[in-house]
Structure 1
Amino acid sequence: MNLPLRDRKIDVFFAVLFSAFTVTSLISDLLPTVGVDFSKPSGNFFVNSNYWYAHDADPLFMHPPDWMRIVTGLSAFVYMPFYVVLVFALLTGRNWIQLPSVIYATMIVTLTGIVVFGVEFFGDPAFRTGNPAKFLAFNLPYVLVPLLLLVRMRKPLPFTRPF
C-alpha cells in the first residue's frame, strides 16, 4: 500500500521541480534543436530568453555544434514528455516510474554532467563562459535534481514507505 501524497512531501517537491523542467525544456531546448537563431536580441520573448542565457552564461549554447543540438533535442523530445509522466507518477504514487527515473538520471548525469560541463571547464576555450559561477548557477540544478531523484528512487517500491 502506497503512502498518501500528504505523507510524501518530497514527491510534491520533485513534482514542482520537474514541472518547471518541463517548461524550461520547451523554452530553452526546443529552439536550438530546431535551429532557431538566438545569437542576437529579438522581439520574441523565447528567443530573447535564450539569447540572454547564452550570451551571459553559455556561449556553446548560442552557437551549438551538432552534438549539442542532439543533447538539446533529447531534452526537448525525450526528457520533456518524461517529465510530464514523472510528475503524474510522483503525485499518484506509481512505483513503475522507478526504473525510468534511474535511466533518466543516468542519462542526465552523463550528457549534462560529463559532456556539457566537461566542455565548459576543460574543452575549447571559445566555448567557455569566462564566468563559471554563472554557468554553474544556471546548470547545476539540472544535474543535482536528477541525482536527488536517483536517491529518492533507490529502494524497491519507493512510494510505500517514508523517504
Structure 2
Amino acid sequence: MASDPGIRALPLRERPVDIGFALVFSAFTITSIISDMLPTLGVDISHPSSNPIVNSNYWYAHDTDPLFMHPPTWMRICTGLSAFVYLPFYVLLVIALVRGWQWIQLPAVIYATMIVTLTGIVIFGVELFGEPEWVTPRPGKFLAFNLPYVLLPVLLLIRMRRPDPFSRRF
C-alpha cells in the first residue's frame, strides 16, 4: 500500500465516492459524540428524560437495542473506543478524504478491521444470539440501524485497497 509521493490526488469533484464517504463519516463523528459517549460515561438511558440527547438514546435502546440500555462493561469499552478513538479518526479521515491525503490508507484499513471485528462479530453476535440472557434481541430493527456501521467501513476498506487511492476514480 505504499504510495508514490510524486502522484497527485484528483480534485475532490472528480472523486464523488470520496464526497460520499466524507459525508457519511462526518455523520459518524456526530453519532460518536451523541450516542457512544453516553454509555461510556455511565449516563443512565434506561428511562425517558427531559434531555433530548438522553431521550433519543433511550428511544433507540428501548425500541431497537436493549443491550445499549443496560450496557455491560465490555459494551462500554466498545462505545468508549467509538467515542474516544474512532471519533478523532473520523475527523482525520474526513479531512484526508477531502484533501486526498494518501497516508490515511493504512489507518483506514486498521479502522475498518477493528469495526468488522468488534461490531461485526462481538456486538452483532451478542445482539443476534443472546447473552446476556436478559437481553431480548430485536434483529430486524437492530440490523436496520447498525448494519451501515459495519458495511460502510468495509466499503472504505475496498476503497483503500489500491496504492494511491486518491489519484484515480473509484
Runs of 4+, deviation exceeding 3 Å: none
Give the drift of 1:37. Answer: 0.3
Task: Say whether 1:135 aligns with 2:142.
Answer: yes
Give the drift of 1:162. Answer: 1.1
Give the drift of 1:132. Answer: 1.2
Task: Say whether 1:101 aligns with 2:119.
Answer: no
1:1-163 aligned within 5 A:
1-124=8-131, 125-129=133-137, 131-163=138-170
Distance across 2 between alignment mates of 1:37 and 1:115? 23
Give the paired residue count.
162
Relative to the length of structure 2, the TM-score reads: 0.93
Give the letter for the 1:121 counterpart. L
Say if 1:119 and 1:127, in contact at 8 Å, map to a contact too. Answer: no
Give the drift of 1:53. Answer: 0.4
Distance across 1 between alignment mates of 2:111 and 2:127? 22
Distance across 2 between alignment mates of 1:140 and 1:149? 14
Distance across 2 between alignment mates of 1:128 and 1:142? 21
Gaps of 5+ in 1: none
- Specify the SS of the correspondent of 2:88: helix
Distance across 2 between alignment mates of 1:2 and 1:32? 39
Identity of aligned residues (%): 72
Q: CA RMSD in A?
A: 0.8
